[in-house]
Amino acid sequence: MTTITLAEVEHLVETAHADQTDKTGAPYIGHVRAVAAALAPFGPELQMAGLLHDTLEDTSLTAGQLRAAGVPDRVVDIVEAVTNQPGTSYQDKIRRITADPDATLVKIADNADNSRPDRAALLPAVTRDRLTAKYRTARTTLWAAADPADIRTIITIANPSLTSELTSG
């Protein structure tokens, strides 16, 4: 089987998330592209995982379909690791993710993009406050499981406003 290229994964994701918007009303593809961009220093497989990180929970695509399309098994494994599982709390999900170093980096990039002040400012105050607390709590667990240099690399790209949190933690 031929392995899919990063450009082909991006096209697959564009199609899968077509017409979807994020919590702020922006095209959803912008979020997954931002997550992938933050993972670029770690190579194409993590970029692919960043692009695909929400496909299993937010689109009709399955892990089997991703593999059949030529997405490398390791990338699909990472995507499965960061995907919500029914009956699992958010904090349990975050703890589960930290068992996989690559999934941890993908989730750190996702968290960083979701925590951007410009995005949060577009949310209703109640939602913004709830998500800010949720993402901050998750960072405590995620960041404890990753190399600080890797975290810095990701947040420098995805959300530089988190740098002070990294240095104070």
Any idea of the CA torsion for 76, 78, 80, 84, to the nearest 10 degrees?
A: -150
DSSP notation for 120-141 = HTTS-HHHHHHHHHHHHHHHHH
**What is the CATH number assigned to the segment(s) 6-168?**
1.10.3210.10
Q: What pLDDT is attached to residue 2?
A: 73
User: Among 38-42, 73-77, 86-90, which stretch is predicted with the lowest mean pLDDT?
Assistant: 86-90
Q: What pLDDT is attached to residue 137?
A: 96
Q: What is the identity of the amino acid at 103?
A: A
Q: What is the pLDDT of residues 129-161, one digit of tens each?
A: 999 999 999 999 999 999 999 999 999 999 999
Say what percent of the chain tops pLDDT 90. 93
Number of H helices and number of E strands within the chain? Answer: 12, 0
Read off the pTM. 0.96
Task: Tell me the three state secondary structure of residue 157.
Answer: helix
Q: What pLDDT is attached to residue 149?
A: 97
Mean pLDDT for the stretch of residues 165-169: 77
